[in-house]
Structure 1
Amino acid sequence: MNSSPLRWFKSSYSSGDGDDCVEVAACADAVHVRDSKVTAGPELAVAPASWGAFLAGVTAGS
């Protein structure tokens, strides 16, 4: 198990005024998603393949 801290990146689609900010951190076995305003709060972790499928669905709809 890797105990390195996650490197979080804010979504480029987050609003500029800071109200709707999502951060993502990827590692080999999961992609972590959290609200940037609640960094010590809950986060969602999904398999990289699931994250890829989600992104494909989001970009197909835009």
Structure 2
Amino acid sequence: MRKPIISEWYKSSFSDAGKECIEVRHDPAVTLVRDTKDRGRGPILSFPAEAWTAFLASDVWRR
């Protein structure tokens, strides 16, 4: 998966209509993750670019 240099928030393609969705935003050094229903009000997780790339390459998310 190629990630854009800088992006807007977008909903994960694995999200469904069950209100358990996340949004992701890629910036040059980090990937940010937030709960869709908390837009701008809840916590935002920040992952270094290398950690996010390793996560996507792992089998953890494919369960």
TM-score scaled to structure 2, two decimals? Answer: 0.75
- The one-letter code matched in structure 1 to 2:15 is S
Q: 1:9-44: per-residue Cα shift (whole Å, max 9, x none)?
A: 1000001x2411110001011100000000121010
When structure 1 is superposed on structure 2, of 6-15 and 30-39 the one drifting more is: 6-15
Q: How many residues align?
A: 56
Which residue of the partner structure matches residue 8 of structure 1?
9
Once residues 18 and 61 of structure 1 are traced to their aligned partners in structure 2, the CA distance between those partners, rounded to angstroms, is: 19
Runs ≥4 residues deviating over 6 A? none
- The one-letter code matched in structure 1 to 2:51 is S
Using the aligned pairs only, state the percent identity. Answer: 38
Instruction: Specify every segment of 5 or more residues in structure 1 that has no aligned partner in the other structure, as ranges.
Output: 1-5
Query: CA offset at residue 59 of structure 1?
Result: 7.0
Structure number with larger C-alpha Rg: 1
CA-atom RMSD in angstroms: 2.0
TM-score scaled to structure 1, two decimals? Answer: 0.76
